[in-house]
Each structure stands twice: as structure tokens, then as C-alpha cells.
Structure 1
């Protein structure tokens, strides 16, 4: 009798322990339950949720790759997991249409948007990474020259406007994530400034410097405020949050000036140094993960639906696109890897660190 009770007690503990052990130690993947899921859905951010079962062989093989993708995407796109084998989570998994394991879904704007199912059989870090970054909704305006800034700021004069002078020709992942989170309250733009000459022309610098810069235009004003904090997600998110809710002190509406003709003297008078510039540690770069081929475009079909295999027969019915051992190998390419037809050049070097 004592042995039976001991075994029952061990059984009660085993489920959460197995679930926790599904992902590597110190993973960026966060296990959530129904309450945690509702909290995630209440946020206007793009997130990914994997619905798993600890006994599922495909879940076990996917876990290291999913964890690698979480490292590269955090904190801009958080990755979560739900253990559908726990009784308390079965209702949530049923409501989310989970019929086989693993089921991975992306929620573009939390509960405000329809989720997208990950339909590629190749559950690799590469596929998870590009699938997530390509499905972040945002309304970032790409500007081709300083002369276009005035028109853009006039068009959205009723709201604050955030302009990134970027050293890259591509839109960084962080800027996409912020553009999505605050798209209802702040207008976002981006202008390539690899040499730093555009910043000089605007009056943001006395001489060209090869670093990205963020300029904030208060509502109704054509004069910008230079964000002087560290260009990392946590600081920018905190600052833009205060801009969005009006708690940051911005200059009152001023007489509009054509931004394309602003001089260093006039623009410097409107610059404000934002404090709390303590650097933060960046997340592990995707380039630290071993190289493998970039997936073909058909692997990112977000509009389809997964076939509904029987719950306990998922391992035998879901295709992983090859040898079962192939998914355990590292799968994220370095910055020199070949690109797919619609892949942004340099995406890895720009998107895999927590800074602009």
C-alpha cells in the first residue's frame, strides 16, 4: 500500500517535470497555462505558441529547434508553449483547435487577430524564425529621401511619429515589433542612412556617424526629438510606451517647418536627451547557431491548416519531411546563407540582435 501511494505521488509530479524537461535548460520558451495564454492574448504583440504533449516524439525533436528560434526572436517576438496533456489546459487546447501534436500557431496581434498555423513539416529554427518575422503586421512607411519626410510627418500630424535612420536597407526586426505594438498610436517610418549623411542633412548630427538613430516628432510638429538612449528593445519599448500614452513630456505644438530644410542650428534646439541609457545585454545572435539551408518559400504557407491526426497517433501520422533524426541538427544559417525569392538580404545580421 505504501509503495502504491508513493508511485501515485511520483505520478502527480512527473507530468510537470516532463513538460519542463521538454525544452533545454535556460530556454527563452515560456510554459503557460490558460491564465497565461489570456494574458498573452491581451497584449498587442506578435507571439508564437506551441501546443505540445511531453510524450509526443515530434514535440521532443522540435523542442531544441523551437528553443533556438526563441533565442533569436526574443524579446521582440516571444515564444510560448502549452502542455496539452495537463487536464487544466485541455479546454484551452480544444478551443484553439488543437487536434495533433505539435501544433504551432502565430498570433499577429494577440487576441485581436486571427492566428496563423505553422504548416511546414520541417520544424526547424530557421523555418520558425522566418515564418515569425514575415508575419509581423505593421504600418512602417519606407522613405527614400529626406525630402519625403515632410510629407509623411504632415500626413500623420495628429499622432506622434517615430523615424528610424537605419544603417541597413532592410527593416530591423525590432522596428517591426515596435511598429506593430504601437501602430494604433504612433506612426512609424524608416529611412536608410548607411553613411550618416542624411542625419547631417536633417540636423541630427554635426558630422556623419555610422549608427542608427531614432527621431520622434511630437503631434503637430515638424521638429524632432532625438532619442539618446540605447537603441535596444527594452529601452525603446519603455520610451515609446510613454510617448503613446502621453506620459512623456514632449514639446507642445510648434510652428511647422519643412524637415528637409532644417539646419543643425534649428534642429538641435529641439533635441531632448532621454535618460536611463544603461546598455542591456543582447539576446544570443542567430549566427551562433550552426548553418543549414534556408527553407523554400512553400514552407511558409501561413494560410493552410494542418491535417487533424489522432491525438495519440500524431507521431505516426505527421510528416517531418525526411529522416526523423534530421530535425535534431542545428538549422539556422549564418549571414552568408542563400536567400529565398522573397527573403530580405542581410536579414540575419540585422534581425538577430536586440538592438538597432
Structure 2
């Protein structure tokens, strides 16, 4: 029986190393591979992303891969995770430009190419990496502590529209941080802990949404809010894993 299976075992032994060395992430992985061209494209986008510079033969990279995959799934595309194979000849200039001297090197790019990257030097575990990345997302969201602060804040910068999240939690949701980071050049973003919905109730706005969190928009120069009822308002729930 063993001899009958021997050809299959030998074939597996031959093919398995080449399969592993071909890449650290599966084809349908939440982690997307980048080359020099696609890296530039990602950097042109005004958003936070994380890039791991790796080599398939690197044992530390292989240990990081499943943890890195977990982080990608936790962020659920809100903060995309990428990897660059620095062992590929075409990618070596890119890895050199990024100052990669060892593997794996993980960097968070706060706003694409518009801000310097931040290198991760912590534990190579999904929980540690996720917590670190959460704290590195720039957003410029103004925390409004009192109802009177909302009016003052809107009047201070009347040249831009304002968007305020009326939040049922004291924590700012990841989605709101990501949106604020990406569109901070277009509008001002704020967050107000509207406990019990008392502030929203005082506005007497018609509400057809089923979300506890509300998003208000103030047009430039206007102190009259408009309720936003799109998908982002419904998805603004806190998720700090």
C-alpha cells in the first residue's frame, strides 16, 4: 500500500516547495500583491494602506503571512493591506527606494505618497499589528463635547461643508476615520457623542433610517443641518478588535 502511494508522495514533495516559494499569499487572499507600477498607483490614492515588503524564502515572512492575512480581514478593505515580493528582480529598485534592509519590513502609509511612511517595529502578531495600525490612521476629526460646540465649529470654517457623526459611543468608528482621512481636503469632519439621541431629537429632522448613529451635513455658510441617510451612516459602527 505504501509503495502504491509512493509516486503520489514523491510528486507532492516535489511540487510543495515550489508552490510555497511561489508566494506567501493565496490567489484569493485579502492581501494583494503589488509590483512597482501598481505600488505607484496605490500611493496616488489619498488613503491609509499597509505594505509588507517580503521575500518568499524568508522564514519570518512565512510566519507573518497568516497573521498579516488576519489583519487584512479585520480591516475589511477599509485599510487595504498589500505585499511586495522584494525577491522579484523587477521589484528590487522599489524595495531599495523604500529603504528595505531586512524581511519582513512592514510600513503604514498614512496618506499614500502625501505623507512619510511609518515602519512597524512591534510584535509580528495580528492583534498587535492591528492595534498599532488603528492608532496610526490620521483623520483630523474634531471631537465635539457640547451641543454649543457644534454651532461654533461650523461657523469657524464656513468656506467648507461640515460632516458630523452623532455617535452612540465615545469611540470614533474606524469607517468614519477612514472617510475623514480620505476626504479631509474637501470638508471638515466632526464627532459628537449624542447619548440617548437628545441632540438629534432637538433638530426635528425626519429620519427614515434604522441606524442609531446619524450623519449630519452642513453646507458651506449654513448652520442648518441635513440628515444623510446613505449606506455609510448605517455602517458607522464601532469595531475595535
User: What TM-score range do you get, normalising by the shorter chain?
Assistant: 0.7 to 0.9
1:103-252 equivalence runs, <5 A: 103-120=105-122, 122-204=123-205, 211-231=212-232
The alpha carbon displacement at 1:166 in A equals 0.7
Gaps of 5+ in 2: 1-13
Task: Determine helix, strand or coil for the equivalent of 1:350.
Answer: coil
Name the one with the larger helix percent: 2
Instruction: Pick from 49, 56, 67 the counterpart of residue 47 of structure 1.
Output: 49
The alpha carbon displacement at 1:137 in A equals 1.1
TM-score (structure 2 length as normaliser)? 0.86
TM-score (structure 1 length as normaliser)? 0.59
For residues 116-161 of structure 1, the C-alpha deviation after alignment (integer angstroms, 9 at most, x for no partner) is: 11111x2111111111110111211111122211101001210010
Instruction: Report what 1:76 is aligned to.
Output: 78
Task: Determine helix, strand or coil for the equivalent of 1:195.
Answer: helix
The alpha carbon displacement at 1:198 in A equals 1.6
The alpha carbon displacement at 1:231 in A equals 2.5
For residues 259-289 of structure 1, the C-alpha deviation after alignment (integer angstroms, 9 at most, x for no partner) is: xxxxxxxxxxxxxxxxxxxxxxxxxxxxxxx
Answer yes or no: is the 8 Å Cα contact 1:49–1:104 preserved in 2. yes
The structure showing larger relative contact order (alpha-carbon pairs under 8 Å, at least 6 residues apart) is: 1
Answer yes or no: is the 8 Å Cα contact 1:46–1:77 preserved in 2. yes
Aligned mates of 1:19, 1:221 — CA distance in 2: 57
Gaps of 5+ in 1: 1-9, 237-348
The alpha carbon displacement at 1:74 in A equals 2.6
Task: Determine helix, strand or coil for the equivalent of 2:143.
Answer: strand
Instruction: Pick from 54, 58, 61 the counterpart of residue 59 of structure 1.
Output: 61
Task: Determine helix, strand or coil for the equivalent of 2:132.
Answer: helix
Counting matched residue pairs gives 225
Aligned mates of 2:109, 2:203 — CA distance in 1: 38
Aligned mates of 1:26, 1:204 — CA distance in 2: 44
The alpha carbon displacement at 1:228 in A equals 1.0
1:238-277 equivalence runs, <5 A: none
Task: Determine helix, strand or coil for the equivalent of 1:82.
Answer: strand
Name the one with the larger strand percent: 2
